[in-house]
Amino acid sequence: MIYKDVKMTLRTVPTKPFDDQKPGTSGLRKKVSVFQQPHYLENFVQAIFNALENCKGKTLVLGGDGRFYNRHAIQVILKMAAAAGFGKVLVGHNGILSTPAASCVIRKHSAFGGIILSASHNPGGPGGDFGIKYNTTNGGPAPEKITDDIYARTRYLQRYYIVDASDVPLDTLDPTRLGDMRVEVIDPVYDYAEMMESLFDFPAIRQLFASNTFSMRFDAMHAVTGPYAHDILENRLGAPVGTVMNGIPLEDFGDGHPDPNLTYAHDLVETMFNGRSQHPASRGTGTSMCGVQPPDFGAASDGDGDRNMILGKRFFVTPSDSLAVIAANARLAPGYHRGLAGVARSMPTSMAVDRVAQALNIGCYETPTGWKFFGNLMDAGRVTLCGEESFGTGSSHVREKDGLWAVLFWLNILAVRQQPVEDILREHWAKYGRNFYTRHDYENVDSTIAKDIMAQLHNSMATLAGKTFGMRRVAYSDDFSYTDPIDGSVSTGQGMRIGFEDGARIVFRLSGTGTEGATLRIYVEAYEADPAKHMQDTQHALADLIGIANQLSGIREKTGRTEPTVIT
């Protein structure tokens, strides 16, 4: 391999600390304008490198979701990586590398770690959000002990190191040298697609598409999964051209909000629920008003490719149910034919997968929200499959949630079972019972008001047990804490839980993924064993619990909101 040399000189730049560089559940996320401040990006990158040990001569993976500021940040990081002494950087072509693909590349090439540039499902563009996070050598997000160390270093940073050099070409696969550091621009899809083909029954899925009786739409939301979906779905699996919607990554995501839910994936929802007047989250199903048949299967992914939404014909599959169905049908996919070591879910995720785990006689773990909490369980061989209610599903094939992987798993299930999505869910509920579940998001709430609501709830937790609300009696209430069974680390303050004697739950959390105001999330769940009641309206089935949640939090009175921003 012939490398093109780029001349460079090492420079030490004096700087001052910023006081707002504490990483959240998925790295550091701020408005683009914040990252554009002089030295802001450089300070955080230097803090990452200072927190790493023995990175000299090692390999770093680098890429992002293609949002605005992605290309500039990559050039800065390449020059700082050269100054830090890395031996090689694998960077995605045109700076593109989905979050699960980055995890795949880190693991396949035994890289020291990776830097992923993304604000996930948050809006992009010059007025939007930007983010950066570090993934360790296992391919997963850095654990809290590392992110805490990075934050601590940002608070007393006095200088950073960078080389003065011309920018590295990202639009060609030709390798480059920055001094002693090699830069290899890689095909962002190849390694990931190769892995997917090893996990799923591609011949069966090809036959499904070739049957001419099955149709699908995948909404890439003008985000990172467009190139991956075009290659895997249309090229490798033979889906008709046009199956992928909004497949060209754009810096502002087409002026959209790249969050694959029923509110923001409106193009796909209109296609799958044509003419339907009710919100798809109200029931599982409904009848078209215009007589045009929607596709049989629909799916979407988010800004960086780690989330997914699954839809059938006029049918919404909650992320919690999707996790449970995948667990129950895992053996249908070649990569999982030996079964699952165990499953894990985040605390707010419904307990639907718990019932599958019990039937399969495998372990089931409840963790805080944040994919990093699944990493230790997977590395220790405790779990194979994991998921979060926030449209994230994944397995031990990488150490990130993986949107397109979940879509391919569903295609594998559909290809083998030869049933519509709705029928698969009906049969699943008949066997395991149905966990009615909804999430109400109140976005961009004033941070002070949001914190006051959570503080009030926290103060009431000790007094709720034994109280009766309507027909429901409180069995327990707490602020969820988690002790990692592998390393013994403790995470507290992970969300308020109220459990009722009949197994119903209400959970309150402040989301850690936004950059403006606060997002208050209310999760409501109730179990129903009777198949005759499984197709009732979800919001109706949970109406009394939703009322209790509103009563306990006072959220509508305190925020002035008459309804949630998003219901899923």
Q: Are residues 215 and 144 in the same domain?
A: no
pLDDT, mean of residues 197-219: 96
Q: Return d(Cα 400, Cα 393) in angstroms, integer.
A: 9
pLDDT above 60 (res 288)? no
pLDDT above 70 (res 5)? no
Predicted confidence at residue 382, as pLDDT, reads 97
The sign one gets for the Cα dihedral 459, 463, 469, 471 is positive
The sign one gets for the Cα dihedral 417, 422, 424, 427 is negative
Q: Which helix (H) or strand (E) holds 244?
A: strand 244-245
Segment 129-169, tens digit of pLDDT = 999 999 999 999 998 889 999 999 999 999 999 999 999 99
Instruction: Find, among 348, 251, 372, 352, the residue nearest to 303 by Cα.
Output: 251
Predicted confidence at residue 238, as pLDDT, reads 97
Find residue 162's DSSP bridge partners. 11
Predicted confidence at residue 4, as pLDDT, reads 62
> Strands 505-510 and 496-500, how do they pair?
antiparallel
Q: Return d(Cα 187, Cα 527) in angstroms, integer.
A: 46
Residues classed as catalytic: 120
Predicted confidence at residue 7, as pLDDT, reads 66
pLDDT, mean of residues 529-539: 93
pTM > 0.75? yes
Segment 253-271, tens digit of pLDDT = 999 999 998 889 999 999 9
Q: Are residues 29 and 156 in the same domain?
A: yes
Q: Are residues 254 and 138 in the same domain?
A: no
Q: Are residues 183 and 201 in the same domain?
A: no
Which of 155, 188, 221 corresponds to the end of one domain? 188
Q: Are residues 443 and 426 in the same domain?
A: no
State the total domains in the chain: 3
**Residues near 60 by beta carbon (within 8 Å), at least 6 away in sequence:** 81, 86, 88, 89, 90, 111, 112, 113, 114, 115
Q: Are residues 81 and 39 in the same domain?
A: yes
Which of 417, 432, 447 corresponds to the end of one domain? 432
Q: Are residues 164 and 30 in the same domain?
A: yes
Segment 418-442, tens digit of pLDDT = 999 999 999 999 999 999 999 999 9
Q: Are residues 213 and 353 in the same domain?
A: yes
Q: Are residues 343 and 397 in the same domain?
A: yes
Domain residues for the domain of 330 are 192-432
Q: Are residues 196 and 320 in the same domain?
A: yes
- The CATH number assigned to the domain holding 253 equals 3.40.120.10
> Strands 434-445 and 518-528, how do they pair?
antiparallel
Of 165-169, 285-289, 516-520, give the lowest mean pLDDT range: 285-289
Which of 158, 188, 218 corresponds to the end of one domain? 188
Give 452's pLDDT tier (boundaries 50, 70, 90): very high
pLDDT above 80 (res 550)? yes
Q: Are residues 507 and 537 in the same domain?
A: yes
Q: Are residues 316 and 172 in the same domain?
A: no
